[in-house]
Structures are given as structure tokens and as C-alpha cells.
Amino acid sequence: MRIPVLYEDNHLLAVVKPPGVPSQEDETGDPDMLTLLKADLKERHGKPGNVFLGLVHRLDRPVGGAMIFAKTSKAASRLSEAVRSRTFGKTYMCVAQGVPASPAGTLKHYLWKDQKRNQVSVFEKPEADAKEAILEYKVAAVHERFSLIAVKLHTGRSHQIRAQLAHIGCPLVGDLKYGAAKQPGVTNIGLWSTSVAVPHPISKEEVVFHSLPEAAAPWSWWEQDQLAYAAKLYI
């Protein structure tokens, strides 16, 4: 599997993650991003021995879009610090079943993940072991009972967008785990990483990498200009 490369230098590798591919090796043993990209780097650059590649952030298996990796341990350390200090910017677009009551807003909840079930519970107020989760959203377009929504994350909790939007009555299309109804032709959930912005680990200047969804349902339900508009709402 050839992974599309958005940008590469001696320190960073930015790519488009295909939906359905795990970010790292899991219990399924299916090809994952780290393994695939290490093999690709080894082949393209003719590197002997093991190839270093640091996983800086994750995308859920059914999610596609922009994703970055560190090519050196120094870059991995500095990018991980950017994640911790919240200078690592991430925007997404999603297709939701339903339309939010407000066309734009900020969602703040507290999330607790059941590791055995791999599912997140959402609370309105602080709860033991629940982590604060904040995101901004803007509705870019509405079609029948579905909405195209741009999202900017302020925290990077597991399943955050999926769980928070489901909590306000707008589960992502295809996300049966969080209450969405089955839709014909939809094989992955309606969530895409549209941009990743981070201080370059060496130059410290901000670099931004962009990606638009593939031409498959539910993205094919929208015009290209609608998708482009949604991708730019938080840029």
C-alpha cells in the first residue's frame, strides 16, 4: 500500500492516512501506518537496518486525512511537547446525522474511556478519571437530515469528536458505536483530518499540512466547493 506523502524533510513526514488503516500495530495484525511508512522510507531512501519513525499523534482506524510523523528522536520529542502544550493544531471535517441546534459553538465535556469496550462516556460535569474535552465547531452545509461540520480541537482525547457530537444528538455518519444509523455505501465513519499545524521541530516556524476527503460516501454527498469551504473555516 502506497501512502500519499504531503511533505517530507529530514525531520518530518506528513502523509494522508487512508481510512481503515490503524495508526500503529494492533491486535488485528493488519498493516498499520508506522509499519507501512517505515518500509516505504527504507525502500525509497535505500536505508540499511531499522528506520526510525516516531508516532506523534493518532487517528482512529476508520478516520482518514492529514497525519504527521517524526523522522528523528529529537523531532519526536519536540513534536510531543507541542501536543502537550497545545501548540499542535488539528482541524477536521465530519458528516453528522442530524443538525446541531446552533450553527456554531464550543463543546466542553468530560470524557471517560472504557478500555475494555473501547468506548467513551460523556459527562457534563467533572467526574472521577474523566478528562476535560473541548472543541469548536461550525456547520458548513446542511443536506436533508445531514450536516457537514468543521471542527477545531482544543484537546486531543480518544474518540473526542465522535463522542461529543453524538452527545448533542449528532452522531457521525457510519459511527454505529456512537449511535448512528446504518447508511448504504458508507464503509467508514464521516470524519476526516483536514489539517495539522505545528511548529517545525528545528526552524520553529509553523508548518501546516492539508488534506481533503476521498471521493467516497459520505463525502460524495457534498459538492467539492462545500468540502473546500468546510476545510477552510478554521484556517
DSSP state of 144: T
Catalytic residue among 32, 60, 114, 129: 60
Whether 30 is a known active-site residue: answer: no
For residues 40 and 223, give the distance between their C-alpha atoms in angstroms, rounded to a whole number. Answer: 33
Beta-carbon contacts of 183 under 8 Å, excluding residues fewer than 6 positions away, are 173, 174, 217, 218
For residues 191 and 151, give the distance between their C-alpha atoms in angstroms, rounded to a whole number. Answer: 10
8 Å CB contact between 186 and 118: no
What nine digits make up the cell of 132?
A: 476535560
For residues 66 and 224, give the distance between their C-alpha atoms in angstroms, rounded to a whole number. Answer: 18
> How far is residue 50 from each of residues 47, 54, 218, measured CA to CA in Å?
8, 13, 39
User: What amino acid occupies position 102?
Assistant: S
Name the residue among 80, 69, 72 with its Cα closest to residue 32: 69
| DSSP count for the chain of H helices, then E strands | 4, 11
What nine digits make up the cell of 234?
A: 478554521
Sign of torsion over alpha carbons 214, 57, 180, 98: negative
- State the catalytic residues: 60
